[in-house]
């Protein structure tokens, strides 16, 4: 009998294993980052079965992007919080100043966002019934001396504001010594009340001199108040840590297994590294699972990247009453199983994996993903003057100056990819230039443009030069003369990114590209070299370099394409 049963049992065991492998292969996976490119400091909240996420925007306008999703994976850019010039003054702001670390929360029919406008008004709160807007004007909170404010609504109808602040008595024991503090908050009148209290001094263990405790959030679970925060600075040593208490005012106990998220102990030479992870926010789904959104970076080598800090998503595991994202040398993955595989949601614009998008400028309003550099005080662009074209006026302002230039930016979202434009422009003088820019900050950019030299039309490539005068902080790298026939044609310009290299190309017939300059140093625009907290922007850019003009440029279309190797042959 056993002689016949044994092969039969083996067959069914083999069949079960095979079916298990088939099931594993069909598990639907999402792609990290869920928002590629410069989308740092994510904060998230859930209302009904909808998820809302916001990011820092620094000196770009409009301020504070708002995304919506039903599955935590696909996101729609539904609006911007500070979309009117009177709501956000960014004049003279450095590119990495402005809007820092918004936090979004919902309570009794109203959305709240708390945030910091660095160097201007400080901390503020705005509200809206609809997260797509309109949002209220900022209500300033001058009593809060710090950054990264976040609201917590307790189940006793009380609210609290948690934030990063200076060391006790403003006497730091070491560089990077900060505190997490709390104030009760009157959410009906939008003002802080009561006395300030320090919750965390220094970080997880002050004897080890932890630095830059920031980005705090509080949530409540199973009778505990959990306080999560970033620690270690926003660069390679970035991490997320957690504390808990039975009372909202503490004392808060540090988790022995901290940090609950970091990649700083991993081999920097590993394939497709993800680094600098931290500044997290948590959300519980309708099926009871917990997830974290957080920032991270994707270097192309030696912790060098141009794409800025991006938004990642990973599952949260609960271990003995503590939340954990990664342990030990666990890597943040590019692919995880879907949080809500039963939910179907498609977004209009891709923000994850490899993709191509084209803007033909055939709508009545600009696509929401275009951003301005600083606050526009006048409308210097339109989509109606010439149908099917974006018209941009040349103005004296420059991207290296302190005010708003004629600049429309689209994030560099991939380490490898390209951005291209088709345009019609005829310069009247050598100071008039229009084309495409790859921009990190005021002192670090490349500008490929059409202009004239000695009354001859040319295509030029410039590199920023901070040592030059304010009107023209650029060094000419190369130029190509155009004949009369070429000058009359529509001009195509293209910037290709290949990790540490940019290439600049042009054409007069579609896809018949000629190289203007190859192997241009992209590390010059990296965060490691240029500094700051933002990522690179491809920008449509036109300037008259400090002089007045009535000239304009007409953009026919813009195309962006990303092609990172880690996403190839995946779904």
Domain CATH number, residue 434:
2.60.120.200
pLDDT on residue 348:
86
Q: In which band, very low, low, confident or very high, does the pLDDT at 569 lie, cut at 50, 70 and 90?
A: low
User: Residues with Cβ < 8 Å from 397, sequence gap 6 or more?
Assistant: 403, 404, 405, 406, 543
pLDDT on residue 470:
67
The pLDDT tens digits for 225-257 are: 999 999 999 999 999 999 999 999 999 999 999
> Average pLDDT of 59-73?
98
* pLDDT tops 70 at residue 404: yes
Q: In which band, very low, low, confident or very high, does the pLDDT at 13 lie, cut at 50, 70 and 90?
A: very low
Q: In which band, very low, low, confident or very high, does the pLDDT at 14 lie, cut at 50, 70 and 90?
A: very low
Identify the burial level of 440 via C-beta atoms within 10 angstroms of its C-beta, where 0-12 means exposed, 13-18 middle and 19 or more buried: buried
Give a yes or no: residue 186 inside a domain. Answer: yes
Q: In which band, very low, low, confident or very high, does the pLDDT at 507 lie, cut at 50, 70 and 90?
A: very high
Q: Are residues 315 and 436 in the same domain?
A: no
User: Residues with Cβ < 8 Å from 275, sequence gap 6 or more?
Assistant: 236, 263, 264, 268, 296, 297, 298, 299, 303
Q: Are residues 373 and 314 in the same domain?
A: no
Q: CB of 102 within 8 A of CB of 124?
A: no
Give a yes or no: residue 343 inside a domain. Answer: no
Of 309, 337, 365, the residue at which a domain comes to its end is 337
pLDDT on residue 205:
96
Q: Are residues 56 and 191 in the same domain?
A: yes
Of 337, 372, 406, the residue at which a domain comes to its end is 337
Please give, one letter per residue, the 3-state secondary structure of 67-121. EEECCCCCCEEEEEEECCHHHCCCCCCCCCCEEEEEEEEEECCEEEEEEEEECCC
* pLDDT tops 50 at residue 50: yes
Residue with tokens 């916001």: 54
pLDDT on residue 26:
66
Whole-number mean pLDDT of the chain?
Answer: 93
pLDDT on residue 570:
53
Compute the distance between CA of residue 31 and CA of residue 468 in angstroms, rounded to an integer.
43
pLDDT on residue 21:
33
Q: Are residues 201 and 302 in the same domain?
A: yes
CATH number at residue 181: 2.115.10.20
Counting residues of the chain whose pLDDT is more than 90, the rounded percentage is 90
Give a yes or no: residue 76 inside a domain. Answer: yes
Higher pLDDT among residues 24 and 543, named by residue: 543
User: Residues with Cβ < 8 Å from 110, sequence gap 6 or more?
Assistant: 127, 128, 129
Give a yes or no: residue 121 inside a domain. Answer: yes
Q: Are residues 43 and 159 in the same domain?
A: yes
* pLDDT tops 80 at residue 153: yes
Helix residue ranges, H only, 120-231: none
> Average pLDDT of 498-519?
96
pLDDT on residue 27:
80
* pLDDT tops 80 at residue 119: yes
* pLDDT tops 70 at residue 325: yes
214 tagged catalytic: yes
pLDDT on residue 379:
94
Cα dihedral sign for 240, 205, 317, 342? negative
Of 306, 337, 368, the residue at which a domain comes to its end is 337
Of the listed 41, 71, 80, 231, which one is catalytic?
41
List the beta bridge partners of residue 304.
301
Give a yes or no: residue 18 inside a domain. Answer: no
Give a yes or no: residue 8 inside a domain. Answer: no
pLDDT on residue 346:
82
Q: Are residues 313 and 388 in the same domain?
A: no
> Average pLDDT of 87-93?
95
Q: Which domain holds residue 70?
A: 29-337
Q: Are residues 257 and 111 in the same domain?
A: yes
Of the listed 76, 214, 397, 496, which one is catalytic?
214
Compute the distance between CA of residue 464 and CA of residue 247 in angstroms, rounded to an integer.
53
The count of domains in the chain is 2
Q: In which band, very low, low, confident or very high, does the pLDDT at 280 lie, cut at 50, 70 and 90?
A: very high
> Average pLDDT of 200-228?
97
Give a yes or no: residue 151 inside a domain. Answer: yes
Compute the distance between CA of residue 50 and CA of residue 52 in angstroms, rounded to an integer.
7
> Average pLDDT of 521-528?
97
378 tagged catalytic: no
The pLDDT tens digits for 427-481 are: 999 999 999 999 999 999 999 999 999 999 999 999 999 887 767 889 999 999 9
Q: In which band, very low, low, confident or very high, does the pLDDT at 214 lie, cut at 50, 70 and 90?
A: very high
Give a yes or no: residue 47 inside a domain. Answer: yes
Q: Are residues 130 and 253 in the same domain?
A: yes
Q: Are residues 252 and 395 in the same domain?
A: no
């Amino acid at each position: 009998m056993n002689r016949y049963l044994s092969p039969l049992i083996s067959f069914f065991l083999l069949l079960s294993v095979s079916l298990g492998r088939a099931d594993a292969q069909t598990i639907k996976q999402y792609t990290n980052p869920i928002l590629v490119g410069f989308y740092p400091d994510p904060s998230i909240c859930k209302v009904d079965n909808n998820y809302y996420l916001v990011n820092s925007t620094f000196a770009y306008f409009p301020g504070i992007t708002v995304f919506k999703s039903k599955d935590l994976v696909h996101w729609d850019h539904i609006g911007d919080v500070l979309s009117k010039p009177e709501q956000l003054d960014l004049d003279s702001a450095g590119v990495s100043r402005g809007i820092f670390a918004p936090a979004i929360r919902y309570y009794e029919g109203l959305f709240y966002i708390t945030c910091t406008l660095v160097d201007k008004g400080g901390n503020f709160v705005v509200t809206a019934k609809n997260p797509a807007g309109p949002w209220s004007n900022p209500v300033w909170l001058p009593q809060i001396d710090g950054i990264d404010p976040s609201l917590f609504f307790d189940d006793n109808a009380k609210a609290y504001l948690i934030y990063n602040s200076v060391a006790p008595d403003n006497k730091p024991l070491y560089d990077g010594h900060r505190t997490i503090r709390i104030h009760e908050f009157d959410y009906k009148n939008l003002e802080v009340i009561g006395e300030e209290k320090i919750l965390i001094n220094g970080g997880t263990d002050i004897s080890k001199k932890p630095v830059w405790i920031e980005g705090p959030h509080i949530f409540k679970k199973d009778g505990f108040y959990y306080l999560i925060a970033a620690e270690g600075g926003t660069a390679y040593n970035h991490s997320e840590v957690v504390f808990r208490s039975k009372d909202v005012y503490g004392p808060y106990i540090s988790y022995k297994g901290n940090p609950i998220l970091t990649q700083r102990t991993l081999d920097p030479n590993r394939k497709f590294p993800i680094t600098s992870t931290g500044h997290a926010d948590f959300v519980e789904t309708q099926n009871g699972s917990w997830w974290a959104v957080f920032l991270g970076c994707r270097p192309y080598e030696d912790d060098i990247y141009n794409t800025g800090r991006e938004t990642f998503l990973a599952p949260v595991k609960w271990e003995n009453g503590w939340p954990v994202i990664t342990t030990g040398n666990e890597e943040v993955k590019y692919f995880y199983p879907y949080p809500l595989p039963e939910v179907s949601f498609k977004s209009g614009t891709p923000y994850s994996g490899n993709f191509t998008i084209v803007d033909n400028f055939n709508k009545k309003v600009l696509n929401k993903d275009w951003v301005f550099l600083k606050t526009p005080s006048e409308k210097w662009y339109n989509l109606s003057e010439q149908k099917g074209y974006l018209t941009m006026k040349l103005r004296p302002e420059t991207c290296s100056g302190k005010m708003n230039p004629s600049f429309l930016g689209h994030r560099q979202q991939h380490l490898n990819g390209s951005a291209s434009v088709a345009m019609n422009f005829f310069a009247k003088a050598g100071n008039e230039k229009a084309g495409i820019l790859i921009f990190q900050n005021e002192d670090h950019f490349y500008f490929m443009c059409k202009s004239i030299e000695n009354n001859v039309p040319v295509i030029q490539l410039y590199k920023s030069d901070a040592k030059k005068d304010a009107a023209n902080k650029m060094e000419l790298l190369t130029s190509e003369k155009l004949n009369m026939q070429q000058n009359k044609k529509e001009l195509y310009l293209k910037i290709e990114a290949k990790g540490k290299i940019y290439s600049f190309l042009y054409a007069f017939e579609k896809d018949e590209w000629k190289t203007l300059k190859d192997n241009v140093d992209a590390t010059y625009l990296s965060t490691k070299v240029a500094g700051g907290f933002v990522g690179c922007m491809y920008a449509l850019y036109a300037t008259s370099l400090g002089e007045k003009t009535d000239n304009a440029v007409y953009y026919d279309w813009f195309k962006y394409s990303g092609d990172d190797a880690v996403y190839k042959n995946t779904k």
